[in-house]
């Protein structure tokens, strides 16, 4: 089982069809392998869904009228080791979740997206290990991430796929220890996975090489760190609770997940600059709701003093949040995030006249309102980002209805806006869409 | 031992009317009988939700419970199995006395442990006609209790909330079985005396010596619709440890307990 896992694990970079062969093999293995007698199988579940996202603004991306038109078929299963053997004794569990997709945006391109293929177990009473492809999440923010340096898919986020797809899986080894004093998670990620961001093909964005919002005309190259031991990423969390409060410390050693630094300007090359992140968070009951505080210092390892104009500077980030249940299935949440570019002086001094200059501080406010109706089968959510310093924002209304336990429809909008073309949400302003999703779960 | 205790009790008080017991004693015993049986407990639960139009939904989960203090703090771990889109989702509650409960939700697809604000205990549990307080118990100090009747082996108790804010009813009646102290029925009324909802025990079974409501129904009289909750595989004193009710087991459900 482990060797099969590592096989899939090692080949994750191959294209979809190679992954697909592995999965078919895995399913074959599940159904016909004689060792099935030693495991209990949760059954095969999943869903089939259709997504359509109609564009509400003109753009220069690949298609004018829509930015999402796809079918998705997800299969998931859990496999528990059973019987009198080592694996069962250590509580070994294999989780599999994968999506077959047909993407009409790319003329019906089929693909397979392996979301999870992991083996977890407790080799010792105070130690857990989870190995393989897995989604990793920690930190206290709601759609805002400081110490969660795991990969995200912002393309999915902006076109209106389910929230599940905001998080991208990592190929990782996660080890957790539970000594008396605090709990410790150590994650080792040998294969770098960047964020999925707008590239101009499906979503337009601000491309500094084009000097404005670019679509298919964007021709920049992004260089990933090569696969080698020294490029392993490490993420560490130590956490414990004090009564109803939870405190955590974080450390991350790896790469910026967005290609914000320039490798070779003449060749339009960008790269993921190396960073270390040190942070902490606190969460607990506050004013009849839940309050959270999170802080992070992002140290740019190749530009520690901020004097290199091609490499992103270091940052300080601080976030405070509050959420509350107002009764009658109405919940609200607020967050405030402030980011400070460190060494702004050195940054300013080294800019070239043609460079785009950024301010030292960025302030961001968010608000979430969720109200459930009809026996919690109708969910109406409004999530709003607003930055007073960048003068931009992003409004995400959505309505979903669980028609039955199997059928669910969701409709929503993605409405980024901004005065400026190059701010985080302002650059996305031509990607406004309205989407509809019909999902059948089994 | 428990039964002998009851016999001895009946022997000594047998000559006086049973409602010589104070109403507080009855309410406390009912609270212990319905929510604190054993030191810990485990059960498989199926909720069948029928809405006003007659459409049905089901929720299936495994529930684990640990009494931290008898009649006081408790911990609950709810592992969802169905519907399949919420399978492997975990809901954890630390029930506190005198302050808000602590609640967490674990969403497996995002590997997200979410702290949930828990002020409203009168909201629906998992979309059913049961509210959180039906599942984890309403604090006995939350109401003023009056013993107002003795009907066919049942105590009838009127309960008026001390704090009218945050509850949908003005008062409610509970009928408590005189022999095992299980609440058999509850009726919730608004200020003008209109019946809003009922909760009823449909089937009682003896499990390891603890009388247990294995089937109950909550009915929304006002807006119609009802939920039937079935408990199977009920086991008490299963030896669940405190450590299960932590973030470790939210992210990695304990196979021994949830399979």
**pLDDT recorded at residue A43:** 83
User: Residue A9 pLDDT more than 70?
Assistant: no
Q: Is the residue at A18 inside a domain?
A: no
pTM for the structure as a whole: 0.90
Q: Is the residue at A11 inside a domain?
A: no
Q: Is the residue at A350 inside a domain?
A: yes
Cα–Cα distance list, B62 to A122, A200, B45, B89, B207 (Å): 21, 47, 6, 11, 17
A323: three-class secondary structure by DSSP: strand
Mind telling me how many Å the CA of A338 is from chain B's nearest CA?
22
User: Residue A209 pLDDT more than 80?
Assistant: yes
Q: Is the residue at A202 inside a domain?
A: yes
Tell me the mean pLDDT in the region A144-173: 97
CATH node for B22-254: 2.50.20.10
* Helix (H) or strand (E) segment spanning residue A20: helix A16-32
Tell me the mean pLDDT in the region B67-72: 92
Contacts with B252 from chain A: Cβ below 8 Å:
93, 120, 122, 128, 130
Calpha distance A69→A71 (Å, rounded) = 7
Which CATH number goes with the domain that contains A80?
2.40.160
**pLDDT recorded at residue A37:** 46
Average pLDDT, chain A: 91
* Chain-chain contact of A40 with B58 (C-beta, under 8 angstroms): no
pLDDT (tens digit per residue) in A369-385: 999 999 999 999 999 99
**pLDDT recorded at residue A314:** 97
Q: Is the residue at A306 inside a domain?
A: yes
User: Residue B119 pLDDT more than 90?
Assistant: no
Kindly list the domain boundaries of chain B, sorted by start residue. Answer: 22-254
Regarding beta strands B210-220 and B226-236, do their DSSP bridges make them parallel or antiparallel, or are they unpaired?
Answer: antiparallel
Contacts with B94 from chain A: Cβ below 8 Å:
244
Instruction: Please state the domain count of chain A.
Output: 1
CA-based nearest residue in chain B for residue A243: B102
ipTM exceeding 0.90, yes/no: no
Number of other CB atoms surrounding residue A77 within 10 Å: 18
The torsion region of residue A23 among left (phi > 0), alpha (psi -120 to 50) and beta comes to alpha
Percent of chain B with pLDDT over 90: 76
Mind telling me how many Å the CA of B224 is from chain A's nearest CA?
11
Most confident of A219-228, A269-278, B109-118: A269-278
* Chain-chain contact of A375 with B99 (C-beta, under 8 angstroms): no
pLDDT (tens digit per residue) in A73-82: 999 999 999 8
| Structure tokens belonging to residue B200 | 């009823």
**pLDDT recorded at residue B166:** 82
Asked if A251 and A140 touch (Cβ cutoff 8 Å), the reply is no
Q: Is the residue at A234 inside a domain?
A: yes
Contacts with B84 from chain A: Cβ below 8 Å:
45-47, 441-442
Map tokens 């590592």 to a residue.
A6
Tell me the mean pLDDT in the region A193-218: 95
* Contact A93/B at CB under 8 A: yes
* Contact residues for A441 (Cβ-Cβ < 8 A; gap 6+): A45, A46, A47, A405, A406, A408, B83, B84, B85
Output the 3-class SS for A395-423: EEEEEEEECCCCEEEEEEEEEEEECCCCC
**pLDDT recorded at residue B158:** 96
| Structure tokens belonging to residue A262 | 């320039």
Residues 370-409 in A contacting B (C-alpha not used; CB under 8 Å): 374-377, 402, 404-406, 408
Q: Is the residue at A49 inside a domain?
A: yes
Of A122, A99, A100, A95, nearest to A110 by C-alpha is: A100
Of A365, A400, A436, A418, nearest to A142 by C-alpha is: A365
Q: What is the domain range of residue A356?
A: 38-366
Of B184, B197, B113, nearest to B155 by C-alpha is: B184
Backbone angles phi, psi at A403, to 5 degrees: -65, -45
Calpha distance B237→B207 (Å, rounded) = 11
Calpha distance B258→B251 (Å, rounded) = 13
CB pairs under 8 A between A and B: 112
**pLDDT recorded at residue A59:** 86
Least confident of A21-25, A129-133, A266-270, B47-51: A21-25
**pLDDT recorded at residue B98:** 84
Of A411, A410, A407, nearest to A441 by C-alpha is: A407
User: Residue A160 pLDDT more than 50?
Assistant: yes
CA-based nearest residue in chain B for residue A42: B259
Average pLDDT, chain B: 90
User: How far, rounded to the nearest angstrom, does the alpha carbon of residue A191 sit from its chain's CA centroid?
Assistant: 16
More confident residue, A286 or A33: A286
User: Residue A108 pLDDT more than 80?
Assistant: yes
User: Residue B8 pLDDT more than 80?
Assistant: no
Least confident of A99-113, A147-161, B34-48, B106-120: B106-120
Regarding beta strands A39-41 and A66-81, do their DSSP bridges make them parallel or antiparallel, or are they unpaired?
Answer: antiparallel
* Chain-chain contact of A283 with B57 (C-beta, under 8 angstroms): no
pLDDT (tens digit per residue) in A419-430: 999 999 999 999
User: Residue B38 pLDDT more than 80?
Assistant: yes
Calpha distance A300→A255 (Å, rounded) = 9
């Amino acid at each position: 089982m482990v060797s099969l896992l590592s096989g899939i694990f090692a080949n994750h970079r191959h294209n979809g069809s190679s992954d697909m062969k592995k999965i078919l093999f895995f399913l074959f293995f599940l159904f016909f392998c004689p060792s099935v007698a030693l495991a209990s199988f949760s059954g095969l579940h999943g869903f089939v869904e259709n997504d359509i996202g109609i564009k509400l603004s003109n753009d220069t991306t690949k298609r004018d009228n829509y930015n999402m038109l796809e079918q998705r078929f997800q299969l998931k299963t859990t496999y528990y080791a059973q019987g009198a053997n080592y694996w069962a004794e250590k509580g070994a569990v294999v989780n599999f979740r994968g999506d077959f997709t047909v993407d009409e945006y790319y003329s019906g391109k089929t693909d397979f997206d392996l979301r999870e293929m992991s083996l977890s177990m407790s080799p010792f009473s105070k130690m857990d290990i989870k190995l393989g492809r897995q989604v990793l999440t920690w930190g206290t923010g709601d759609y805002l991430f400081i110490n969660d340096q795991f990969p995200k898919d912002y393309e999915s986020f902006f076109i209106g796929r389910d929230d599940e797809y905001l998080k991208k899986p990592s190929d990782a080894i996660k080890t957790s220890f539970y000594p008396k004093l605090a709990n410790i998670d150590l994650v080792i990620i040998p294969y770098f996975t960047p964020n999925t961001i707008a590239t101009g093909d499906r979503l337009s964005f601000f491309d500094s090489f084009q000097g404005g919002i670019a679509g298919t005309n964007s021709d920049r190259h992004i260089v990933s760190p090569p696969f080698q031991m020294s490029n392993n990423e490490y993420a560490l969390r130590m956490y414990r609770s004090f009564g109803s409060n939870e405190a955590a410390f974080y450390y991350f050693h790896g790469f910026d997940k967005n290609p914000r630094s320039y490798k070779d300007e003449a060749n339009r090359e960008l790269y993921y600059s190396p960073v270390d992140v040190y942070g902490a968070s606190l969460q607990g009951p506050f004013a009849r709701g839940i309050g959270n505080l999170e802080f992070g210092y992002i140290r740019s390892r190749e530009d520690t003093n901020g004097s290199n104009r091609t490499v992103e500077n270091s940052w300080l980030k601080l976030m405070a949040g509050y959420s509350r249940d107002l009764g009658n299935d109405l919940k609200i949440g607020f967050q405030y995030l402030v980011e400070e570019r460190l060494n702004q002086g050195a940054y300013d001094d080294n800019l070239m006249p043609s460079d785009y200059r950024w301010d030292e501080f960025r302030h961001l406010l968010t608000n979430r309102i969720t109200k459930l109706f009809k026996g919690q089968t109708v969910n109406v959510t409004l999530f709003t980002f607003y930055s007073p310093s960048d003068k931009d924002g992003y409004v995400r209304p959505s309505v979903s209805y669980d028609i039955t336990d199997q059928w669910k429809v969701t409709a929503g909008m993605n409405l980024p806006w901004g005065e400026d073309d190059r701010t985080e949400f302002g650059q996305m302003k031509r990607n406004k869409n309205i989407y509809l999703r019909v999902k059948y779960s089994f | 031992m428990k039964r002998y205790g009851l016999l001895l009790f009946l022997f000594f008080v047998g000559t006086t009317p049973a409602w010589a017991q104070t109403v507080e004693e009855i309410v406390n015993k009912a609270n212990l009988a319905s929510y604190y049986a054993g030191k810990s407990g485990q059960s498989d639960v199926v909720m069948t939700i029928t809405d006003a139009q007659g459409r049905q939904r089901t929720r299936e989960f495994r529930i684990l419970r640990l009494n931290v203090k008898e009649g006081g703090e408790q911990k609950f771990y709810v592992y969802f199995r169905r519907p399949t889109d919420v399978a492997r989702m975990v809901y954890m509650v630390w029930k506190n006395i005198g302050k808000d409960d602590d609640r967490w939700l674990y969403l497996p697809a995002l590997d997200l442990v979410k702290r949930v604000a828990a002020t409203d205990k009168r909201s629906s549990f998992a979309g059913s006609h049961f509210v959180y307080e039906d599942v984890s118990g309403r604090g006995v100090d939350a109401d003023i209790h009056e013993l107002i009747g003795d009907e066919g082996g049942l105590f009838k108790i009127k309960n008026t909330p001390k704090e009218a804010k945050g509850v949908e009813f003005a008062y409610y009646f509970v009928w408590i079985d005189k022999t095992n102290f299980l609440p058999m029925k509850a009726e919730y009324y608004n200020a003008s005396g209109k019946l809003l909802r009922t909760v009823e025990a449909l089937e009682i079974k003896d499990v390891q010596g603890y009388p247990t409501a294995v089937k109950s129904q909550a009915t929304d009289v006002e807006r119609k619709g009802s939920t039937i909750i079935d408990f199977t595989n009920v086991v008490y004193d299963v030896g669940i440890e405190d450590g299960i009710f932590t973030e470790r087991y939210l992210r990695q459900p304990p196979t021994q307990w949830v399979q």
